[in-house]
């Protein structure tokens, strides 16, 4: 009898051991970090100035860096750049073809996350009328929710609504963004009917005003910023004044939006993310959770001052501190090597054209809106119909199809007139009839980029490509992004933590590989529109 009982106990123990061995190993938390407007070269441009306990050196030296990561589509803008890594897909499939696009059925301009069916939660403004409904596919966050029968928690956070909403996907527990009208972090009734207590408590602290009281001073003596142009150039925007130090007290309780254009916007995002992890108890059990964090402030700073500015350099030195603070918090709260983190960017940025020409490098601005107005006026003279070009978004012209059909305009002749006019503009390198994209003579990488960005129901009719170094210059100051060129499309991609090797690869990888790689790490399904491949080198 004793021998029989012993055999049963041994058998039970063996079954328990097999079961334990067969348990799927996953991190407690996945942290997706997107820096809005970070060129890849920033990792090394400021490397010597990054703190050893900050974020960038820790990630580069202890994690795995994909040094040659590109965005495989255009336009390289925020909404696409937050959808594509998490969906593992391209605008041609996930449908987010820009921050805005012309809806041919509704005959109106559409914002990527607009949703009139929902209401703001967290303030009395209309800033919360947003949701992920325009996204046509799942994200890796949705797939994690599905894989765990919705036991995993998913939270999205960013100053920009699109940066918080699109990565987290359709089934997220919440997405939060910053309301520049009220100074509160808010959400929408798509997710909930009332802010959780931890979010209310954060808003009650009135952090924007506290940051305004501090002002924006350089971290180090100005003469140490040798990687930057001298302060206050004429081609920079001046949202705060003429140069450092910036007194921000005039914005206290008056203009809550200016905080986004300072490094304190990154600090605020970091602290709100910590509050969310604590308040929602993310990573506190054996069911993997996911938080997506987008740092919007580098984009606002970069647009205003340009990538060679002292503001950009100081902003990334401060961003490094914020990332270090976030890593320290995760090590303590979730546990060192208990979370997997990746860091990337939604796009890069072009140098300010006037900075380049100052140094004899070809560059310039196309005042596209003005040129479209001139072209429309010219077409109206010929065809006696107004506004035949109904919209210009994402470097694409949208035709007024109803007006063209009603006036019996010969479409081929119409298209040829437009292309001929656009080709006459010295800032434009190529003009492409998107109906004939496959037969147009183009270098294959550019053709692929345009194809991957083209959705037939949301994209335009004519695509323009500017000369390298040229931008769509909505004013005579600042800069922008959106094209296929490496300064807009070459981005960082670093992996860190649970399941990640230490090292790097110079093999060409893509933003769209992120979701597939996370799916492989977590052993879950890829998103519904995924076209990326697993970056096997990063995994232990």
pLDDT at position 97: 98
Three-state secondary structure along 192-241?
A: CCCCCHHHHHHHHCCHHHHHHHHCECCCCCHHHCCCCCCCCCCCCCCCCC
- Domain boundary assignment for the chain: 29-357+485-538, 364-468
Longest dimension (CA), the chain: 104
**Where do the H-state alpha helices sit in 206-352?**
207-214, 264-279, 297-305, 310-330
Distance CA 295, CA 98 (A): 19
By the 8 A CB rule, do 96 and 83 touch?
A: yes
Pick one of 3.30.1360.120, 3.30.1360.150, 3.40.50.300, 3.40.50.2300 as the CATH number of 364-468.
Answer: 3.30.1360.150
**Where do the H-state alpha helices sit in 88-128?**
91-94
pLDDT in tens, 116-149: 999 999 999 999 999 999 999 999 999 999 999 9
pLDDT at position 22: 65
Could you tell me which of 351, 303, 353 has the C-alpha nearest to residue 160? 303
Identical fold between 29-357+485-538 and 364-468: no
pLDDT at position 201: 98
Q: Which helix (H) or strand (E) holds 184?
A: strand 184-188
523: left (phi over 0), alpha (psi -120 to 50) or beta: left
Segments of the chain with pLDDT less than 50:
1-21
Please give the structure tokens belonging to residue 371: 């040129």
Distance CA 400, CA 420 (A): 19
pTM given for the model: 0.94
pLDDT at position 17: 44
Please give the structure tokens belonging to residue 135: 């996204």
Q: Which fold has domain 29-357+485-538?
A: Alkaline Phosphatase, subunit A (3.40.720)
Please give the structure tokens belonging to residue 257: 């939006």
Distance CA 160, CA 181 (A): 13
Please give the structure tokens belonging to residue 481: 């992004």
pLDDT in tens, 425-482: 999 999 999 999 999 999 999 999 999 999 999 999 999 999 999 999 878 999 999 9
Between the CA of residue 373 and those of 126, 159, 386, 477, what are the distances in Å? 31, 33, 11, 21
> Which amino acids are annotated catalytic?
78
Task: Identify whether 245 is preceded by a cis peptide bond (ω within 30 of 0).
Answer: yes
Could you tell me which of 156, 170, 161 has the C-alpha nearest to residue 123? 161
Number of H helices, E strands in the chain: 19, 19
């Amino acid at each position: 009898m004793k021998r029989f009982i012993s055999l049963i106990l041994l058998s039970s123990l063996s079954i328990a051991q097999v079961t334990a061995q067969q348990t799927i190993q996953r991190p407690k938390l996945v942290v997706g970090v997107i820096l809005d407007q970070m060129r890849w070269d920033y990792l090394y441009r400021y490397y010597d100035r990054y703190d050893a306990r900050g974020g960038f050196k820790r990630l580069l030296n202890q994690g795995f860096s994909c040094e040659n990561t590109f965005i495989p589509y255009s336009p390289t803008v925020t909404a696409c750049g937050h959808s594509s890594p998490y969906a593992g897909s391209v605008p041609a499939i996930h449908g987010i073809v820009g921050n805005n696009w012309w809806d041919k059925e509704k005959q109106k301009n559409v914002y990527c996350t607009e949703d009139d069916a929902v209401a703001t939660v967290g303030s009395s403004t209309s800033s919360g009328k947003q949701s992920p409904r325009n996204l046509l596919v799942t994200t890796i966050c949705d797939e994690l929710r599905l894989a765990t029968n919705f036991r995993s928690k998913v939270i999205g956070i960013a100053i920009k609504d699109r940066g918080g909403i699109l990565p987290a996907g359709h089934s997220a527990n919440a997405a939060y963004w910053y309301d520049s009208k009220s100074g509160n972090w808010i959400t929408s009734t798509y997710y909930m009917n009332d802010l959780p207590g931890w979010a209310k408590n954060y808003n009650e602290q009135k952090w924007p005003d506290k940051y305004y009281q501090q002002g924006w001073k350089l971290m180090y003596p100005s003469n140490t910023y040798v990687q930057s142009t001298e302060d206050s150039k004429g081609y920079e925007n001046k949202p705060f004044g003429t140069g450092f130090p910036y007194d921000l007290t005039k914005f206290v309780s008056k203009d809550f939006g200016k905080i986004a254009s300072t490094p304190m916007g990154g600090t605020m995002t970091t602290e709100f993310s910590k509050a969310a992890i604590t308040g929602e108890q993310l990573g506190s059990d054996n069911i993997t959770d996911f938080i997506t964090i987008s740092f919007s402030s580098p984009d606002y700073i970069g647009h205003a001052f340009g990538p060679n500015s002292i503001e950009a350099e100081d902003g990334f030195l401060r961003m490094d501190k914020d990332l270090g603070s976030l890593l320290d918090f995760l090590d303590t709260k979730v546990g060192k090597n208990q979370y997997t983190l990746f860091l990337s960017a939604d796009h890069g940025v072009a140098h300010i054209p006037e900075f380049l020409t100052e140094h004899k490098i070809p560059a310039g601005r196309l005042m596209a809106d003005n040129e479209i107005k001139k072209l429309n006026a010219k077409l109206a003279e010929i065809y006696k119909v107004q506004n035949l070009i109904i919209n210009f978004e994402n470097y694409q012209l949208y035709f007024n199809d109803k007006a063209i059909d009603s006036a019996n305009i010969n479409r081929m002749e119409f298209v040829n007139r437009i292309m001929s006019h656009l080709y006459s503009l010295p800032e434009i390198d190529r003009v492409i009839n998107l109906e004939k994209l496959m037969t147009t003579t183009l270098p294959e990488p550019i053709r692929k980029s345009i194809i991957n960005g083209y959705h037939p129901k949301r994209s335009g009719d004519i695509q323009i490509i500017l000369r390298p170094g040229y931008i769509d210059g909505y004013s005579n100051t600042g800069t922008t992004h959106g094209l296929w060129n490496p300064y807009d499309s070459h981005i960082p991609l670093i992996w860190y933590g649970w399941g990640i090797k230490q090292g790097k690869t110079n093999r060409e990888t893509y933003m769209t590989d992120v979701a597939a790689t996370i799916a492989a790490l977590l052993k879950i399904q890829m998103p519904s529109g995924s076209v990326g491949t697993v970056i096997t080198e990063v995994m232990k």
